[in-house]
Amino acid sequence: MILKAEGIVLKTFNFRETSCIVTFFTKEHGKIKGVLKGIRKDPKKFGSHVDKFSVNQLVYYTHRNNDLHLVSHCDLTSFFFLIRKNLRRTLAASYALELVDSIMPTEEKNIKVYQLLINFLTELEEIKDINRLVHIFQIKILSHSGFKPFLDSCVVCQKHIVPSMKFSMKLGGLLCPDCFANDRDARIISRGAIASLTHIESNDWKKALRLKLTQPVQKELKVVLNNFLVFHLEKHIKSEKYLSAR
Ligand SMILES: [Zn+2]
């Protein structure tokens, strides 16, 4: 079968002498893997160098018993030049790509996550506060991919939120003082941080972007979100170096 798609390059590696295997996150078919034959010998064969986080128009042939497809056309549509000019922006983009690659199952369409990644990359070209943007991205991808944190009340006893709640990595939600005693990994979370999480989760991208995060709240979100993501993905994201270097 021949398929067309718009896809963001998540990762690439060299294959045999002249080819490349590329993982794309596509708008139409989710995460796919394709081989671009001969691209290293004859780069002009394709209208793209398949650089990480570039957006491309693809044509590819699917195989019935193999998830490695044959890409026949790949034309660049967005390059995000301003991200590439700056190391911190490039690292933040790499982190987002790794997160999408780790969270999203193969060949499962998710238009919300696709649009989120496009919005993130577009904003990342010029935004001043990169850390805040990364937090908004983390919160949004969690809620669009089935890991939405439970923030309405205590996840165990349903008691209302009180000033001293913790966030449980294991249960993905808030715990009250009666319930957090047995959860060693749970982290303290302030009301301000809970309110910020809820605001970002429940509003659209544009509105979420307008939310200001104070330094203490950013610090808390960094700990809670990074630990929660690591716990659920059961591995460390390599480009997390970006996050710890902040
Ligand atoms: Zn409780």
124-160 pLDDT, tens digit each:
999 999 999 999 999 999 999 988 999 999 999 999 9
123 Cα: distance to centroid of ligand 1 (angstroms): 38
Q: How many CA atoms lie within 13 A of 130 on its CB side?
A: 20
- Cβ(73)–Cβ(58) under 8 Å? yes
CA 70/CA 52 separation, integer angstroms: 19
Q: How far is the CA of 151 from the centre of ligand 1 (A)?
A: 12
Domain 2-78 has CATH 2.40.50.140: yes
What would the mean pLDDT of 113-120 be, rounded to a whole number?
98
Dist. CA 98 → ligand 1 center (Å): 34
Domain coordinates of the chain in residue numbers?
2-78, 83-150+166-244
Higher pLDDT pick, 143 / 241: 143
Distance 155 CA to ligand 1 centre (A): 7
Residue 191 has, within 13 A of its CA and on its CB side, a CA count of 5
Digit-coded pLDDT (tens) for 150-199: 999 999 999 999 999 999 999 999 999 999 998 998 999 999 999 999 99
CB-CB neighbours of 1 under 10 Å: 8
pTM: 0.93
DSSP classification of residue 37: T
For the cut 80, the answer to whether the pLDDT of residue 240 exceeds it is no
| Cβ atoms of residues 9 and 26 within 8 Å | no
Q: Could you tell me what percent of the chain has a pLDDT over 70?
A: 95
HSE of 168, CA atoms in CB hemisphere, 13 A = 20
Identify any residues that bridge with 70 across adjacent strands, giving them in sequence order.
35, 61
Predicted pLDDT at 241:
56
Task: Quickly tell me which residue has 């939600």 as its tokens.
Answer: 173
Q: What is the CATH code for 83-150+166-244?
A: 1.20.1440.120
Supply the pLDDT for residue 182. 87
